[in-house]
Amino acid sequence: MILETKRLILRKPQLSDWKDILEGAKDLDVSRYLSVVPYPYHKKDAVWFIKHSLKRWSKKSRTTYTFFIELKSEKKIIGVTDVHNINFQDRKANTGAWIAKKYWRKGYIKEAKVAVLDFAFYRLKLRKIEAEAYIENKASNGMQVKLGFKKEGLKRKSIIAKSTGKIHDSVLYGLFAGEWKKSRKRLIRELKEYQ
């Protein structure tokens, strides 16, 4: 399965992606806000992550779709986004993302998230998507708001970052399908400035 945007291809991982994953995830500025990414990050960590993601893709009843974000112009993986913890009975799921530092502030996460949220709401027919961000991660919290997510609460001292061992509060966000329709139009207009 492939999701495509103007500048990006969101696709299943391939074992050959390990160098790009390693390059992006080994930066402490990236991993400090990711709960399960160790620091330092090694080839074996990248290979394990890819194999783990592929195993999830192979399941018949999937509860996770992990998309590797490929920048078309460079034919390079620059980050990862997903829809995970899918609950088809309640028609909701969670989402997350990271991007290599070199590609920050260029609209790539916003562009990837539009494609992933379209997939979640229109193809999977979910009614709600939830997201979580460390309270200190201003960029991630700001992105949730830009995407149309509403702040729903705070989980105190809820996550230990594997890379630093620090305990973080996390902000909870939610987005309903109807809210996404309104936000999506604005986001498409905003993305034109990057394209």
pTM: 0.96
Q: In this predicted model, which residue has the larger pLDDT, 98 or 60?
A: 98
- Alpha carbon 184 to chain centroid distance? 17
Binned at pLDDT 50, 70 and 90, residue 18 comes out as very high
- Alpha carbon 173 to chain centroid distance? 14
Which tens digit of pLDDT belongs to each residue from 100-112? 999 999 999 999 9
**193 has a pLDDT exceeding 90:** no
Q: Which CATH number fits domain 2-191: 3.30.930.10, 3.40.630.30, 3.60.21.70, 1.10.760.10?
A: 3.40.630.30
Q: What is the mean pLDDT of the chain?
A: 96
The CA distance from 153 to 173, in Å, is 7
Percent of the chain clearing pLDDT 70 (strictly above):
99
What confidence score (pLDDT) does residue 143 get?
97
- The string of DSSP codes covering 123-146 is IS--SEEEEEEETT-HHHHHHHHH
Non-local (6+) Cβ contacts of 143 within 8 A are 109, 110, 113
**1 has a pLDDT exceeding 90:** no
What confidence score (pLDDT) does residue 60 get?
86
The CA distance from 177 to 117, in Å, is 9
Ranking 16-20, 60-64, 70-74 by mean pLDDT, the lowest is: 60-64
Which tens digit of pLDDT belongs to each residue from 113-146? 999 999 999 999 999 999 999 999 999 999 999 9
**195 has a pLDDT exceeding 90:** no
**194 has a pLDDT exceeding 90:** no
Token couple for 180 = 């996404």
